[in-house]
Structure 1
Amino acid sequence: MTGWVIAFGLAALAFVALLLIGRIPRSAREITAAALLLGLAGYAWQGHPGQAGAPRQVADDKGGKFDEKLAEQRRGLAERYGPAAQWLILSDGLARRGKTKEAANVLLSGLRDSPDDANLWLGMGNALIAHGDGVISPGAEFAYRRALAIDPAGPAPRYFYGLALARAGQLQAARDLWAPLAASAPAGSQVKAELEANIARIDAMLAAGNPATP
């Protein structure tokens, strides 16, 4: 409602100013009023006069909210101790504050010291996914593949690379990674149950031709 009041007020002020200051002739007054009304009609069509105003807040970083559950899953499947842990903890701390670019840069520093650490490459892939709002960039793809190459038998690279693929809509590629991992996971484990449930959803979506992610 406030938008309409302001719009009509400005239109009225403009018309009065044209009459008193612009001294438009009487013959042009109807045309001028019609032009102002046309402007109001355009505002009603393109604008949002009934919507309340609100200040915009600009975030420090374009990254999304830190996924605490995902970080805990990574720690459960991959690192707990060792040289990679300190870099990953520091990176997680920055990501929690929305500083996804800095979180990835920290892991890059760790990789300069330990270029063959699969956990750091895995963390880098996850950090780049977070920084890219879920998009699998070439850098994230490279990081996941390096983690897989260094630790081909490890569950963490296959799990998280598959998760990134599934969320990006690459369902068949995700299934190809997850199926052998689910088969080798300990019976009764939470990871096995989760993977089997995700694979079942993927199979259902592929059969239905649905591009949605699990």
Structure 2
Amino acid sequence: MTSWLIFLLLALAVLAGLRWLGGMRGASLQFALSALLIAAAGYAWQGRPGLREARPAAAAERGIAQTPFSMARKELFGQFDASGAWLTLSDGYRARGDTKGAVDIVRSGLRKYPDNAVLWLGLADALVVHGDGRVTPAARAAFERAGRLAPQHPAPRLFYGMALARSGSFDEAERLWRALLADSPADAPWRRVVEDQLKLVDEAREMQRTTQP
């Protein structure tokens, strides 16, 4: 998968973040938009997902300032959840390139709050970054645990689908998002987010087909 395709998939995540943050106003909205765009561009520029042998070194050598989850979590879950301090600390480790430290911090939080769905989502997000974009078995387990703890909340399946799409698992992401739509009320505000992402995944899948021999 070429780097420009990865950029398109990250643009999918940016779009979701913008939709979720749509209620913000003024300077705070501008800051959120800028940070999300910088995060997507930085991954597309530095990630080089096609170079499998370079992935472990790349993850350790670069810092990732923001992810779609880190940018949207306060708007989705509130600022004063017990997970906040642990995830903020984990963000700092990730931003300076210590992705293992970022994972370890969230795991420490989970030892204190084992039933916190936001921390489980944070662990999944940290594991995906540590795996340089790959959805590892541990990341899958964390996403699924978050879904069991917050079955009515769209975030576990929304961010799980983003991670799958960025890793190239288009079909699995589509199944997850279509199930989310089937379970969502007709007037749910997140339906448009999921529908837009499904369209972008279709476009990315078509672009991938046209570039292959």
TM-score range, shorter chain: 0.5 to 0.7
1:22 maps to what in 2? none
Paired with 1:90 and 1:101, the residues of 2 have a C-alpha distance of: 13
For residues 141 and 63 of structure 1, what CA distance do their matches in structure 2 show? 24
Cα distance in 2 for partners of 1:208, 1:157 equals: 27
Give the 5 Å matches for 1:39-50. none
CA shift for structure 1 position 91:
0.8
SS in 2 for 1:73: helix
The one-letter amino acid of 2:138's match is G
Distance 2:63 2:186 in 1: 33
SS of the residue aligned with 2:209?
Answer: coil
Structure 2-normalised TM-score? 0.62
| Counterpart for residue 139 of structure 1 | 138
Q: Which blocks of at least 5 consecutive residues in structure 2 are unaligned?
A: 1-56
Structure 1 runs (4+) deviating above 3 angstroms are 180-183, 185-189, 191-194, 203-212
Task: Summarize the Cα distance change of 1:199–1:102 in structure 2 as closer, same or farther, 3 Å threshold.
Answer: same
Query: Residue by residue, what CA displacement relative to the aligned partner does 1:8-35 show, whole Å, maximum 9, x if unpaired?
Result: xxxxxxxxxxxxxxxxxxxxxxxxxxxx
The answer to whether the Cα contact below 8 Å between 1:116 and 1:150 also exists between their aligned partners in 2 is yes
Deviation, 1:62, is 4.0
How many correspondences in the alignment?
154
Q: Which amino acid aligns with 1:127?
A: A
* Alpha carbons of structure 1 residues 98 and 140: separation in structure 2 relative to 1, 3 Å: same
**Are 1:125 and 2:124 counterparts?**
yes
More helix by share: 2
Matches within 5 A, 1:1-214: 61-62=60-61, 65-182=64-181, 184=184, 189=189, 191-204=190-203, 210=209
**When the two structures are superposed, what TM-score results if normalisation uses the length of structure 1?**
0.61
- CA-CA distance at 1:211 after TM superposition: 9.6
Contact persistence 2:59–2:129 (CA under 8 A)? no
Change over 3 Å in CA distance of 1:170–1:211 after alignment to 2 = farther
* Counterpart Cα distance in 2 of 1:114 and 1:200: 37
| Structure-1 separation of matches of 2:204 and 2:81 | 40
> Judging changes above 3 Å, is the alpha-carbon distance between structure 1 residues 202 and 69 closer, same or farther for their aligned structure 2 residues?
closer
Q: Is the 8 A contact 1:169 1:211 kept in 2?
A: no
Larger Rg: 1
The CA distance in 2 between the partners of 1:186 and 1:76, in whole Å, is 22
RMSD: 3.0
Q: CA deviation at 1:127?
A: 0.2
> How far apart, CA to CA, are the structure 2 residues paired with 1:211 and 1:148?
35
Structure 1 pair 126–69 and aligned structure 2 pair: CA distance change class (3 A): closer
Maintained 8 Å contact 1:103/1:127: yes
Q: Distance in 2 between matches of 1:211 and 1:91?
A: 39
In structure 2, C-alpha distance between the alignment counterparts of 1:140 and 1:60, rounded to whole Å = 16
Q: Give the CA deviation at 1:162.
A: 0.7
Larger mean CA deviation between 75-84 and 134-143 belongs to: 75-84
- Quick check: 110-119 or 177-186, which moved more? 177-186
Higher normalized contact order (CA 8 Å, seq sep 6+, divided by chain length): 2
Structure 1: any 5+ residue segments left out of the alignment? Answer: 1-57
Q: Residue 101 of structure 1: CA displacement? A: 0.8
